[in-house]
Amino acid sequence: MSSTPGIVVVGAGLAAAKAVESMREAGHTGAITLIGEEPDRPYERPALSKDYLQGSGSRDDLFVHREEWYAEHDVATRFGEAVASIDREARTVALASGDSVPYERLLIATGSRPRTLEVPGADLDGVVSLRRIGDSDRIREAYQRASSVVIIGAGWIGLETAAAARAAGLQVTVLEYAPLPLGRVLGEELATYFADLHRRNGVDLRTSVEVTAITGTDGRVTGVQAGGEELAADLVIVGVGISPNAELAAEAGLEVDNGIVVDEHLRTSDPAIYAAGDVANAYNSTVGDRLRVEHWDNAIRQGQLAGRTVLGRDDAYDWQPYFYTDQFDLGMEYVGRGSASDDVVIRGDKASGEFIAFWLDGDRVTAGMNVNVWDVNDDLRALVGSSVDRARLADPDVPLTEVVPR
C-alpha cells in the first residue's frame, strides 16, 4: 500500500496519459500514480481501425510515451490492475488485488467499452468488437484467414473496419439498423455520400435491417441472420456503439448521467475528484451544452485540461468537437456539432471527391467537414458559431479567410 497521498489517475488511456504529461509540464513535482486495467501503457486508438488494422502501422507507433517516460518523470504505474472501488471519505482507491492507494486528488479517465449485441450467438468464437490493441491484432489476423466478414453497425468504427477488410481482399457486408449510416450525425445528403462511397468500393451495405441471430457450428461463427435471410460469415465484427465506464463513479456516489457529470473545469460533484475523456459528460462553455465526446482529439485536449485543473487552474472546456476518418481514398475532418435537421451547404463538387460541407441552422454555421481538402480546419473552426452569407460560403472562388467573420 502506498502511504503518501498524491494525485491518482484511474484509467490509463490517452486522456490519462495527457493529463499526467500536462501536470509534469506545469512543474508539478508531487506524487502521481497512474492505474490502468489494460496491461499496456497508454496508447492512441484511432489507428486500431485504420493504419494499424491494415498492417501499415507498427505497434510501437501506437503508444503515447516511450516505456521509460513514466519512470523518467517519476510517475508510478500500476498497469494490468483493475480498480474495485473508490472510498471518498477515506480518499482511497481499492484495487482488485487488495491493495489500497490513497489520494489527495483523483482523476477518473476510465474511458468506454463496446456495447454488446443482445442476440443469440453473440458469444460465438469469431464474433469480435474493436476497442483495444488485442482486438485489432485478432481482427487483423482473422482478415488473413477469412474470406467473408459481416460488420454489424455502420458507425465510424464499422465503416473504417469495412474499408480495412476490403483492402485485405475480403467479401464485406455491413448491416445497419437505421435507414442510412451516420444519418444522425451527418444528415441525409452526406450520409448518402458515405453509403455510396462504400458501395462503389465493393461493400454490400444493407440498411434498415435488424440482426436477429448469429449462427455457428461447434462454437464457431458461420453466419448472421438479418432481414429474413442468413448471410455467410467467417468473421463478425460488432460495432454498435460504446458505453462510458462510469460504474466506479456511480458506486462512489458521484453524479452520473450518460457518463460522469462534470462542470466546464472537469470537476465532479466531489471537489477532490475530476473526470476526463470518453467517460466525462462535461459542460462545454462554447457550445452552451453538455457533451460526452468519444474521439481522439477530445481525449487529448480534455486530458491536458484535467492536468491543469487538478493543479488548481480554472481553464475551461471551451473548444468545438473535432474528429477525423480515413476510408478508402477519402480523408475527412469534421469540426463543430451539427444536426441532421440542419441545412447543408456544399463548397466544391462532391462528385470530384474534394469538397467542404457546412451545416447551418438559419445562417449560423454549426459544423464544417473538409473531405480531401487540407489545411482549412482552422478556418472551419473560426466559422463554426458564426452567421455567414450562404452564397459566399458556397463559392469556392471566395477564399475561406474572406468568409470568416472579422
What pLDDT digit, counting tens, does each position of 296-308 carry?
999 999 999 999 9
Q: Are residues 99 and 248 in the same domain?
A: yes
What does the pLDDT average to over 28-34? 98
What does the pLDDT average to over 40-68? 93
pLDDT band for position 1 (cuts 50, 70, 90): very low
Q: Please work out, in degrees rounded to the nearest 5, the angle formed at the alpha carbon of residue 33 by the alpha carbons of 32 and 36.
A: 145
All three cell numbers of 73, joined, read 518523470
Among 3-7, 8-12, 286-290, name the most confident range: 8-12
Question: Domain of 162?
Answer: 116-238
> Could you give the dihedral angle defined by the CA atoms of residues 15, 21, 25 and 31, in that order, rounded to the nearest 10 degrees?
110
Which of 179, 213, 238 is the C-terminal boundary of a domain?
238
CATH number, domain of 363, equals 3.30.390.30
Q: In this predicted model, what pLDDT tens digit does every residue of 299-337 receive, in sequence order? A: 999 999 999 999 999 999 999 999 999 999 999 999 999
Mean pLDDT, all residues of the chain: 95
Tell me 290's DSSP state: E
Q: Are residues 246 and 211 in the same domain?
A: no
Q: Are residues 128 and 194 in the same domain?
A: yes
Q: What is the C-alpha radius of gyration for the chain, rounded to an integer number of angstroms?
A: 22
CATH number, domain of 215, equals 3.50.50.60
What does the pLDDT average to over 20-44? 97
Q: What are the b/e assignments for 254-272, b being 16+ CB within 10 Å?
A: bebeebbbbbbbbbbebee
Q: In this predicted model, what pLDDT tens digit does every residue of 86-136 receive, in sequence order? A: 999 999 999 999 999 999 999 999 999 999 999 999 999 999 999 999 999
* % of the chain beyond a pLDDT of 70: 98
pLDDT band for position 56 (cuts 50, 70, 90): confident
Q: Based on the number of CB atoms within 10 Å of its own CB, is 213 exposed (0-12), middle (13-18) or buried (19 or more)?
A: middle
Task: Look at residue 241 and tell me whether its pLDDT is greater than 70.
Answer: yes
Cα 185 to Cα 24: distance, rounded to the nearest angstrom: 37
DSSP 235-282: EEEE-S-EEE--HHHHHTT--BSSSEEE-TT-B-SSTTEEE-GGGEEE
Q: Are residues 138 and 227 in the same domain?
A: yes
Neighbours of 369 (CB within 10 A): 25
Cα 105 to Cα 107: distance, rounded to the nearest angstrom: 7
All three cell numbers of 159, joined, read 465503416
Q: In this predicted model, what pLDDT tens digit does every residue of 142-169 receive, in sequence order? A: 999 999 999 999 999 999 999 999 999 9
Q: Are residues 10 and 109 in the same domain?
A: yes
Count CA atoms within 13 Å of residue 192 on its CB side: 7
Q: Are residues 26 and 122 in the same domain?
A: no
Neighbours of 177 (CB within 10 A): 14
Residues 259 and 280: beta-carbon distance below 8 Å: yes
Residue 286, in any domain of the structure? yes
Q: What is the pLDDT of residue 5?
A: 84
Q: Are residues 252 and 300 in the same domain?
A: yes
Cα 190 to Cα 187: distance, rounded to the nearest angstrom: 6
What separation, in Å, do the N-terminal and C-terminal C-alpha atoms of the chain show?
57
Task: Look at residue 405 and tell me whether its pLDDT is greater than 90.
Answer: no
Residue 198, in any domain of the structure? yes
Cα distances from 321 to residues 49, 342, 393, in angstroms, run: 20, 17, 21
**Helical packing angle, 183-200 and 156-167, nearest 10°:** 10
Cα 353 to Cα 328: distance, rounded to the nearest angstrom: 12
Q: What is the pLDDT of residue 3?
A: 58
Q: Are residues 92 and 164 in the same domain?
A: no
Neighbours of 119 (CB within 10 A): 17
Tell me 46's DSSP state: G
Cα distances from 164 to residues 46, 65, 395, in angstroms, run: 13, 26, 35
Q: Are residues 152 and 207 in the same domain?
A: yes
Residues 251 and 66: beta-carbon distance below 8 Å: no
Task: Look at residue 2 and tell me whether its pLDDT is greater than 60.
Answer: no
Q: Are residues 341 and 360 in the same domain?
A: yes
Which of 205, 238, 271 is the C-terminal boundary of a domain?
238
Please tell me the pTM assigned to this model: 0.94
Neighbours of 125 (CB within 10 A): 10
Q: What is the pLDDT of residue 406?
A: 52
* % of the chain beyond a pLDDT of 90: 95
Cα 319 to Cα 279: distance, rounded to the nearest angstrom: 18
> How many domains does the structure of the chain reveal?
3
- Type and span of the H or E element at 401: helix 400-403
For residue 223, give the nearest of 279, 141, 147 by alpha carbon: 147
Residue 13, in any domain of the structure? yes
Residue 320, in any domain of the structure? no
